[in-house]
Structure 1
Amino acid sequence: MEKLFKPVLLFVFILSPLWGIAQYSEYEWKERDSWMDVAGIMELAGIEKGTAVADIGCHEGYLSIHLARKVGESGKVYAVDVRQDRLDKLKENLKERNLKNVKVILGDYDNPKLKENSLDAVVIMDTYHEMRDYMEILKHVKKALKPDGRILILEKFKHYTRNKSREHQTDAHTLASKYVKKELEDSGFKITKEVKDFGKWNNESDKTIWILVGVKA
């Protein structure tokens, strides 16, 4: 799971002490494409040619590589993670695909180390629930975004944790959108889009994907 910069660039960012747990290794990416609506994520995050975007919690680069191809040579992807071994594998994956528009960043658990006012978008996919210093991270993300920049948070919700506390849910590696919505608003973001059912994680009926999109208030 994972963290991001400039010329109309793309930033996908995911952070947490356990950033590697919910992402998949490269050999599983093809199967993941069958149930993950990557094109829909790109549209909601406003990703296009020339975008500067950060992928926080990038793991081995599943989303970062999709983003790199979408933004093209005129865009930029900042792939952030807290584990060097994951980033080393990402570098190999980028080299194999001859992708040169991705900057790999080793972030801290409370700081994705992104340049201020440089990003059009930040994506935190299946990583936010692992973040212990989430308010501090959101503060850094807000600073890194341009005035009209977007943050997109995607999580899978495990139905059996419904009505449980935030701590109970994060211990189960899941999180309800109601908690994140309040945290985004308290951090100075305005929610512009909420998708309550973005499909089923890994086609498992008890794991519903939700998305929140916000901009600086």
Structure 2
Amino acid sequence: MSDSESEPELDAADQRRAVRERYARIARESEADAGSCSDDGGCCAGGSDGSGGAGTGTDTDERARQLGYSGNDVDAAGEANLGLGCGNPKALAAMEDGETVLDLGSGAGFDCFLAAREVGEGGRVVGVDMTPEMVERARENASGSEFGNVEFRLGEIEHLPVADGSVDVVISNCVVNLSPDKPQVFREAYRVLRPGGRLAVSDVVLTAEIPAELRADPESVASCVAGASTVDALEAMLDDAGFEGVDVEPRDDSDRFIREWDDERDLSEFIVSASITGRKPDEPPIPPGDEGGDAR
């Protein structure tokens, strides 16, 4: 499977437009029917026709449990659970009291609110999302809640509105695959991490060639299917960005929920959920030619 076979047949502008429109629709519809996923499959779910993934609040709670969240997690995040995602980055990140966490593609704030509980009052959580409707929804969910250490910023994950070296942990849940420039996403994550900081991402990876009609379909790109990369490609991107200890580990049991993402075809034939982790070195690497010598 060549690199070109793993890339959507849409230009970057069309990809971003498709993603923004889809998740704006999800935010609007979930606000109208708080606590439930939209009837057009507004999740990392739903096929190219937009079907599947419909649900009530009970459905989205069950989805979260399938992804590895506990009942306490679901209860704590409340209406921020829209049934999105393909894993549980909180379980990968081993967050500690006082840390600063950044969530790439934070949606309505589900993973941000769970991270806030992990880092405590002395910690801080920042969510970045490129969809204004999602940022507004997340801020509404945070308003008047117990989560006073969470903020949400509008921005693209390829150009994060976050200072250099200011974050201990970067998390994300089934969002990096939506980017038309994944290497830039990982370079940005590396930039904002402090030395020794870590990346903990749940996402989908490509296991077989995706049919051409899906790669060219905006809805398939926006629903976490056509933009997936192979394990080898992701490892190379993370290595090139500077991460060490890189690990991309497919999740063996993810086919049971990925099959539900499309009523017309079994998407688990092409993609699988995976845990993606890496660490920024404690000290920046020494540029070639600067290994020693006279520091005049």
Q: Name the TM-score, length of structure 2 as normaliser.
A: 0.59
Partner of 1:208: 272
Partner of 1:37: 68
Contact 1:197 1:210 in 2 (8 A): yes
SS in 1 for 2:239: helix
CA change 1:201–1:74 in 2 (3 A) is farther
How far does residue 200 in structure 1 lie from its aligned partner after superposition?
1.8
Greater CA drift, 63-72 or 21-30:
21-30
Instruction: Judge conservation of contact 1:109–1:133 (CA < 8 Å) in 2.
Output: no
Matched, 1:113 2:161: yes
- Aligned partner of 1:13 in structure 2 is none
Q: Distance in 1 between matches of 2:255 and 2:121?
A: 31
Q: Point out the structure with the larger strand share.
A: 1
Distance 2:69 2:163 in 1: 26
Name the CA distance, whole Å, in 1 between partners of 2:171 and 2:22: 17
Q: How does 1:19-168 map to 2 (within 5 A)?
A: 21=22, 25=30, 26-28=35-37, 29-38=60-69, 41-108=89-156, 110-157=158-205, 162-163=208-209, 168=215
Distance 1:50 1:176 in 2: 35
Secondary structure of 2:111's partner? helix
Match of 1:174 in 2: 228
Q: Distance in 2 between matches of 1:56 and 1:141?
A: 9
Contact 1:157–1:176 (8 Å) recurs in 2: yes
Q: Secondary structure at the match of 1:113?
A: coil
Alignment partners' CA distance in 2, 1:32 and 1:49: 28
Aligned-pair CA distance for 1:124:
2.2
User: Take 1:179 and 1:20, find their aligned partners in 2: how far apart are those partners?
Assistant: 27
Give secondary structure in 2 for the equivalent of 1:152.
strand
The structure carrying a bigger helix percent of its residues is: 2
Pairwise CA RMSD of aligned residues?
3.0
Q: Which runs of 5+ in 1 are unaligned?
A: 1-15
Change (3 A) 1:101 1:109: closer
Question: Cα distance 1:93–1:19, how it changes in 2: closer, same or farther (>3 A)?
Answer: same
Q: Distance in 1 between matches of 2:231 and 2:20?
A: 19
C-alpha separation in 2, matches of 1:21 and 1:36: 22
What is the distance in 1 between the residues matched to 2:166 and 2:252?
A: 28
Which runs of 5 or more residues in structure 2 are unaligned? Answer: 1-14, 38-59, 71-87, 260-267, 282-296
Please give the TM-score of this superposition, normalised by the length of structure 1.
0.78
Question: How far apart are the structure 1 equivalents of 2:255 and 2:138?
Answer: 23
Q: Aligned with 2:197: secondary structure?
A: strand
- Mapped contact 2:157–2:188 kept (Cα < 8 A): no
Deviation at 1:168, TM superposition (A): 4.1
Aligned partners of 2:256, 2:129: CA distance in 1, in Å? 22
Does 193-202 or 122-131 show the bigger shift?
A: 193-202
| SS of residue in 2 equivalent to 1:47 | coil
The 1:180–1:192 alpha-carbon spacing in structure 2 relative to 1, beyond 3 Å, is closer
SS in 1 for 2:169: strand
